[in-house]
Amino acid sequence: MVDRIADIWGARTPYAQGGRWPDRVDMVLQADIEAGEVDEWVQSACVLCSNGCGCDIAVKDGRMVGIRGRATDRVNHGRLGPKGLFGSWQGMQHQDRLTRPLIRENGRLVDTDWDTAMERIVARSKELLASKGPLSHGFYTSGQLFLEEYYALGIIGKAGIGTPHMDGNTRLCTATAAASLKESFGADGQPGSYADIDECDAVFLYGHNMAETQTVLWSRLLDRLSGPNPPRLVCVDPRETEVARAAEVHLPVRPGTNLALMNGLIRELFVNGWIDQDYIDAHTLNVGQLRGVVDKWTPERVAEVCGVEASDVRRAAAIFGASERVLSTVLQGFYQSAHATASACQVNNLHLLRGQLGRPGCGILQMNGQPTAQNNRECGADGDLPGFRNWENPEHVKELARIWNIDPSVIPDWSPPTHAMQIFRYAEQGSVGFLWISATNPAVSMPQLARIRDILRKESLFLVVQDIYLSETAQYADVVLPCAGWGEKTGTFTNVDRTVHLSEKAVDPPGEARSDLDVFLDYARRMDFRDKDGGPLLDWTGPQDGFEAWKECTRGRPCDYTGLSYELLRGASGVQWPYNDEHREGTERLYTDGHFPTDPAYCESFGHDLLTGATVGSTTYKASVQSGKAWFKALDYTPPHEEPDEDYPFRYTTGRTVYHFHTRTKTGRSKPLNDAAPAPWLEMSREDAGKLGVAEGDMVRVASRRGTLELPVRVADIRPGCVFAPFHYGYWDTAGPDEGGRPRAANELTLTEWDPVSKQPVFKNAAVRLEKIPGQGPA
């Protein structure tokens, strides 16, 4: 049998341009079980990244005992990666699962029953609403719940309580994807399709280590690369990742300098006439402004700022210019670095300039990371209004109020929605006294952890944490709610390329754990939220009611789900929205006719100034828009806020490894995955290791202005002057810095700073100094 820990992508199944990606069914079963002994295979999709691979869960004697890919699914054609194969079902069934609610008594968390836990929450909630009003409440959710759960939470926060303080960890994840799509095209939603990999002439990966983070998508690309007429590949990443090694041109930019590179690439298209003037004239606005901004970004200037070769900038641009069908993918190397939205918009601009949108092979994938991030953005459990509605458009607010049968004045539309970092700031200051965190672990995943820990432990903050394990964050809670997770509850979710999947309940959750949806509905009931006519605000009895309600909310919006049903999703494959009377088969690509959702009455946003983040506002927007045309948005480069200096001479960046998902609550509890990457490390170039006198495995202390880490060195192919740490490792399985343990969470060092438009925190560039810890070998 193939070792799918060592062999990450599995065997090659080459195919030619325009061909069909061959099927290959991947499967793992518990060691003592044969396929014939499985009682039942239950349809689902994997929730360990945004790829959304279709799968079936193997069930025997009421337990999950394995998984296999669905050959019929358009996303993965049967394949699964290491996390899907091992992390999914194994990660859910560990003895550490939370089985009973916990409440804090005399400083300690103790077991209780659901009534006591919920009544404690409701009592505090009512008391704060009466004494301080809705702005005392904050909700911080996830990119890992189901659509129905987010929509329930969105209704609770926006129509029940009426607080603008709602966001998800999607803010840390793909807020910039959403922001760039709104700025350029008027609304969120990926223009492209995974099938563009089958058709394209070239692929550009911008700050995206697809080989480790969407392993099945990378397998599709590897199969094209090993078939006839393979696509040309360009990679922008300071590290020599697997993607970089496969690329024809690798641009190892200094962290934080993406925008300089992008401005240079755009300039090359203009200078060499590699643009589609007819498309630009017919379908876009503001090309003159773009030209003006990029004018001074010659390849030589780019080379100097980014630390790459000018000839490589020219070669990369020439590949874009010479290819009829380019697929671009963008992820955290752009979204979590400096000038995030502006850099991501420049990718959209490259495609608009060449008219490469809406045709097979010409995709833009402003990627998602988490499996259900798209749904949080759609359903309004983050800062947006449900159905991609525009908070600055009073008609959209009225429409929502009509759908929910409430008074429009309840919906908080008087200010921009509060982003995650600002919600935590309000908790720090004390104006938010009630914070409900679901399915995310900010005590490890947010920047500047010492500060986050101080906020979470504040006396003035009543903290509810809803999780499947006692995470680092849950340990600070006043009430911990044990939830059912993947395979233990039913719901739908949507992946990067708008493919909607149904994930069915396969087994019962452990102990008294309940689905997140049941918890939200229970809270709504106990709070007695009512509509205008005195009826219950949320009268759903289960996920299917939620899905039906959601369909109505999307009617006529870009993410129209009205033609979908659970019945239909029980089919062979997931399907792509919009799916309605007009699109009976779903929609492979958006903007095929060059018409964009920028009409002021329809668009999701009136846009922002990319430098300051100031909103354009309806008056200016209406005066400058030509409905249906896309926007060229551009910004000049300025250096990132924190650059290396004498005291902190190294650039610090962070990211992922293939074997772990985030804070390891699931993958750290799967033996094969955890054995493959049991502890954190610091990547450093050979050159820097030599200068510091450290060798592989030596311990170093890494310090920024905000904290320190102690990690073993891994000598790696990273550009000199830069170091990299994986952000997966926190303290649930080791003593934390407050208990005298070694600091090892990458976010001890990161800074509290965010992109002005998307408000996504900057996790990918900070300045640090290094010192060898004498006499200490491998940990």
Ligand X SMILES: Nc1nc2c(c(=O)[nH]1)N[C@H]1C(S)=C(S)[C@@H](COP(=O)(O)OP(=O)(O)OC[C@H]3O[C@@H](n4cnc5c(=O)[nH]c(N)nc54)[C@H](O)[C@@H]3O)O[C@H]1N2
The footprint of ligand SF4 (CB under 6 A) covers 46, 48-49, 51-53, 76, 80-81, 83-84, 214-216
> ∠ CA(506), CA(509), CA(513), 5° rounding?
150
Per CB under 5 A, the list member of 45, 85, 121, 173 interacting with Mo ion is 173
**Residue nearest to ligand SF4 according to CB distances in the complex:** 84
- Pattern of binders to ligand X over 638-677, x per CB under 6 A? ---------------xxxx-x-xxxx-x------------
Rounded distance between C-alpha atoms, residue 358 and residue 190, angstroms: 10
By CB under 6 A, the residues from 322 to 341 that bind ligand X are 331-334, 336-337
Angle between helix 258-271 and helix 310-322 axes, rounded to 10 deg: 60
Q: Which is nearer to Mo ion, 258 or 370 (CB)?
A: 370
Q: Does 253 bind ligand X (CB under 6 A)?
A: yes
Give least dist CB 473 to ligand X, A.
Answer: 7
Residue with smaller CB distance to Mo ion, 173 or 313: 173
In whole angstroms, give the CA distance from residue 770 to residue 409.
54
Q: Is 369 in the site for Mo ion (CB under 5 A)?
A: yes
Among 90, 180, 440, 598, binds ligand X (CB under 6 A): 440
Helix (H) or strand (E) holding 40: strand 40-45
Q: Choosing among ligand SF4, ligand X, Mo ion, none, which partner's interface includes residue 53 (Cβ < 5 to 8 Å by kind)?
A: ligand SF4
Distance CA 443, CA 396 (A): 36
Nearer CB in complex with ligand SF4: 52/157: 52
- In the list ligand X, Mo ion, ligand SF4, none, the entry touching 52 (Cβ below 5 to 8 angstroms by class) is ligand SF4
Q: Which residues 6+ apart lie within 8 Å of 705 measured at CB?
A: 642, 648, 751, 767
- Return the one option of Mo ion, ligand SF4, ligand X, none that residue 516 interacts with (CB less than 5 to 8 A, by type): ligand X
Q: Side-chain half-sphere of 664: how many Cα atoms within 13 Å?
A: 30
Greatest alpha-carbon span in the chain:
73
Q: Which of 44, 258, 348, 674 binds ligand X (CB under 6 A)?
A: 258
Residue 255 interaction partner, one of ligand SF4, Mo ion, ligand X, none, beta carbon < 5-8 Å per kind: ligand X
DSSP 8-state secondary structure symbol assigned to residue 211: H
466 binds ligand X (CB under 6 A): yes
Residue 97 interacting with ligand X (CB under 6 A):
no
Please tell me whether residue 547 adopts helix, strand or coil conformation: helix
User: What size, in residues, is the chain?
Assistant: 779
Span of 207-215, 576-584, 625-633, 696-704 interacting with ligand X by CB under 6 A = 207-215
In 3D, which of 702, 695, 698, 689 has the Cα closest to residue 743?
Answer: 702
- 214 versus 576: smaller Cβ distance to Mo ion: 214
Binding track over 167-206 against ligand X, x by CB under 6 A: --x--xx---------------------------------
User: Cβ of 722: how many Cβ atoms within 10 Å?
Assistant: 23
Which of ligand SF4, Mo ion, ligand X, none does residue 493 bind (CB under 5 to 8 Å by kind)? none
DSSP 8-state assignment for residue 354: H
For ligand X, the binding residue among 44, 184, 213, 554 (CB under 6 A) is: 213
Nearer to ligand SF4, 216 or 365 (CB): 216
Give 540-547's long-range contacts (Cβ < 8 A, gap of 24+): 540/148, 540/152, 542/490, 542/517, 543/146, 543/148, 543/489, 543/490, 543/491, 543/492, 543/515, 543/517, 544/490, 546/147, 546/148, 546/149, 546/151, 546/152, 546/491, 546/517, 547/147, 547/148, 547/492
Tokens of 7: 């062999």
Question: Taking the complex as a whole, how short is the minimal distance between the CB of residue 323 and ligand SF4, in angstroms?
Answer: 26
Determine, following the binding rule CB under 5 A, whether residue 743 of this chain makes contact with Mo ion.
no
Q: Which does 216 bind (CB under 5 to 8 A by kind): ligand SF4, ligand X, Mo ion, none?
A: ligand SF4
Query: Residue 88: which residues within 8 A CB-CB, separation 6 or more?
Result: 46, 47, 48, 55, 57, 67, 486, 487, 666
Q: How far is the CB of 434 from ligand X (least distance, A)?
A: 18
Looking at beta carbons only, is 79 or 165 nearer to ligand SF4? Answer: 79
**Footprint of Mo ion on 370-399 (CB under 5 A):** 370
Interaction of residue 704 with ligand X, rule CB under 6 A = no
Site stretch for ligand X (CB under 6 A), options 56-64, 310-318, 425-433, 440-448: 440-448
The sign of the dihedral angle between the CA atoms of 349, 616, 182, 599 is negative
Residues 688, 720 contacting (CB under 8 angstroms) = yes
The answer to whether 729 and 714 have CB atoms below 8 angstroms apart is: no
DSSP structure class, residue 406: S
* Residue 264 binding: pick among ligand SF4, Mo ion, ligand X, none (C-beta 5-8 Å cut-off by kind): none
From the list ligand SF4, ligand X, Mo ion, none, pick the one residue 84 interacts with, judged by a Cβ distance below 5 to 8 Å according to partner type: ligand SF4
Residues 27, 80: Cα–Cα separation, whole Å: 8
Q: Supply the DSSP string of 62-101, one letter for each residue.
A: TEEEEEEE-TT-TTTTT---HIIIIIHHHHHS-TT---S-
Contact partner, 100, from ligand X, Mo ion, ligand SF4, none, Cβ < 5-8 Å per class: none
CB of 370 to ligand SF4, least distance (A): 10
Strand partners, 710: 701
How many angstroms separate the Cα of 423 from the Cα of each of 140, 388, 560, 625, 699? 8, 22, 30, 33, 36
Residues 119-178 that bind ligand X (CB under 6 A): 142-145, 169, 172-173
| DSSP-based three-state secondary structure for 692 | helix
CB of 77 to ligand SF4, least distance (A): 11
Q: Please tell me the count of residues contacting ligand X according to CB under 6 A.
A: 64
Q: Which burial class, exposed, middle or buried, applies to 542 when counting CB atoms under 10 A from its CB (0-12, 13-18, 19+)?
A: middle
Q: Which is nearer to ligand SF4, 112 or 215 (CB)?
A: 215
What's the token pair of residue 660? 């772990």
Nearer CB in complex with ligand SF4: 45/135: 45
DSSP string across 258-305: HHHHHHHHHHHHHHTT-S-HHHHHHHEE-HHHHHHHHTT--HHHHHHH
Q: Minimal CB distance to ligand X: which residue?
A: 369
List % helix, strand, coil for the chain (3-state, nearest 5). 35, 15, 50
Site for ligand X in 483-512 (CB under 6 A): 483, 485
If the CB atoms of residues 215 and 760 are measured against ligand SF4, the closer one turns out to be 215
Q: Which stretch binds Mo ion (CB under 5 A): 253-261, 362-370, 422-430, 544-552?
A: 362-370
Contact flag: residue 655 with Mo ion (CB under 5 A): no
* Residues of this chain, 560-619, that bind ligand X according to CB under 6 A: none
- Tell me the closest approach of the beta carbon of residue 468 to ligand SF4, in angstroms: 17
Integer Cα distance of 229 and 277 in angstroms: 29
- Judge whether 350 and 362 are in contact, CB under 8 Å: no
* Mask for 752-771, x = binds ligand X (CB under 6 A): -----------xxx------
- The site partner of 537 among ligand X, Mo ion, ligand SF4, none (C-beta below 5 to 8 Å per kind) is none
Sole binder of ligand X in the list 44, 90, 176, 241 (CB under 6 A): 241
Shortest Å, Cβ 8 to ligand SF4:
10
DSSP 296-308: T--HHHHHHHHTS
Q: Taking a C-beta distance cutoff of 8 angstroms, is the pair 391, 408 a contact?
A: no
Minimal distance in Å, beta carbon 44 to ligand X?
13
Q: What are 75's two structure tokens?
A: 């996303």
The answer to whether the CB of 618 falls within 8 A of the CB of 393 is yes
User: Where on the chain is the footprint of ligand X (CB under 6 A)?
Assistant: 49-50, 83, 142-145, 169, 172-173, 207-209, 212-213, 236-239, 241, 253, 255-256, 258, 331-334, 336-337, 369-370, 438-442, 445, 466-469, 471, 483, 485, 516, 653-656, 658, 660-663, 665, 724, 727, 746-747, 750, 763-765
User: Where on the chain is the footprint of Mo ion (CB under 5 A)?
Assistant: 173, 369-370
